[in-house]
Structures are given as C-alpha cells and as structure tokens.
Structure 1
Amino acid sequence: MMIDRHTSKTYENAAEELTRALREELLEYAGLLELLQRQQALIFEENLLELIKISDEISSQQQIVQSSRHTRTYWQKRTVQAMHEDDLLWDEMAHRLPVRNQVPLQLIRIEINSLLDQIQVLLSQNQYLSRRATSPFD
C-alpha cells in the first residue's frame, strides 16, 4: 500500500501526540503515587487536619489522571485510524509505529504499569490503615 505524504504526516503526528500523551499520563500517575505516600505518612502521624487536605488533593489528582487517560485514549484511537485500521491491540499498534516512537512508548507503558501496581498497593494499605485508625476497638 502506498502512503501519500499527507497520510504519512498525519500518522507521524498522531504517533508523536500519543507519545506526548502517554508521558503526561505517566507524570500524573507519579503525582498520584506521591500523594498516596504522603497520605500514608499522615495516617501514621494521625494528623487529621492534613489528612482531610490530602484526601481532597488525591481526589483532584484522580480527576487529572482520568483526563490524561482520556487524552491518551483519544490519541491512541487517532493513531490507529491513521494506520487505516478500525482497532488494534496495543502491541500490534506499537510495532507499526515509527521506530523513534516504539521504544519510548513501550518503556513509558512499562513504567505506568509499575506505578499502577504501586498505587493499588498503597490504596489498599491506606484504606486498611484508615479503618484501623478509626476503629473504636483500639
């Protein structure tokens, strides 16, 4: 299949925007992880006033993460469309991208998955610690 100059430019632009969106998503997840770590420290310190503040910050950060995820999903769909496909699995799509985008995307994806694992652990720990701290049976 012959790719014309305009299609090639659209494809390259979509791949660049996808890379940029994934980087932004990574940064937002890192911000959420940092807030959860601060929350855990505040739980141990039993600092109720700061716990209320950090809970609001976590809520705001979760909304920012959701927004960045939507942006990344949008550019992922645009990239797949630029490949003249209806739908592709992530790995299939990534292997068809320009080489300059393949490695960064895969590394960022690995890092995001690692952050998600850490976030899940901290969420569970913080919920448990919060319940335990507010339990009347201490």
Structure 2
Amino acid sequence: MQCTFLFPLLAGAMVLGACVPQEQAGQADFDAYCAACHGVDARGNGPVSVDLNLNAPDLTLIAQRNGGEFPFTQVMSTIDGYTRADQHGSVMPEFGSLLDGPTVLVEYEGGIQTPTPEPLVSLAHYLESIQR
C-alpha cells in the first residue's frame, strides 16, 4: 500500500525535475563555455575579454538590442557558429561541436520543426531567461 501512495509523489517529482534541468544545464554550459569572455553575469566583463582587451557583448541585453524580442534561433546560430561561418577573423569560437547531444524539436521561422541539439537549446533558453 505504501508504494501506491509514493508513486504519484515520485512521478510528480520527476515531472518537476524535468522542468528545472534545462535551464540549469544551460547555465552550466554558459559557465563552462561563455563566462570566460562574457563574465559570470553575462555582461561582457569576463577575465579573457578584460585581459585581451576584447569587447565581448553584454548578453543580458540581446532582446533590448533586438527591439524587445529575444531572437532565439539567431542566438543559437551565433553560438554554434552557423551564421558566423563566413566571418573571417571572428573572435568568438564556434561551439556547435561542444554542444552536440540528443536533439529536441525547435520551431524555426515559418513554423518548421527542426531537430536541434538539446544543449544548444538549453543554453539559448538560459540566455533568454537572463534578459533585462
């Protein structure tokens, strides 16, 4: 009888747990791959940027720079390097291969559902969550 009582509690905890890890995973990837240049607060003041005198953008103002809208797919393309492939001399490294993993469907422009690496999606969601 105790199992029938515990099962709904465990199932509920698993559902809640599934909601939290995406943002936590995105923040963990940000800390691992982005904070050195963009700073732990994502405002462009990371130690590498300061030491090399680089102007890393403030990632908390992406939506503000885009008329109040967070350009989700554009952010993912910038991170993975897809939109920067033709920009020789770009200081930002391509992170596409570092953010490979299981895929999730993401709706892109025109309503097209495209399999996209979950770590990349999680990182973009994290960046969206820290907009000011």
When normalised by structure 1's length, the TM-score is 0.31
Task: Work out which structure has the larger RCO, using CA pairs closer than 8 Å and 6 or more positions apart in sequence.
Answer: 1
Task: Kindly indicate which of the two structures has a greater share of residues assigned to helix.
Answer: 1
Q: Quick check: which has more Rg, 1 or 2?
A: 1
Task: Kindly indicate which of the two structures has a greater share of residues assigned to strand.
Answer: 2
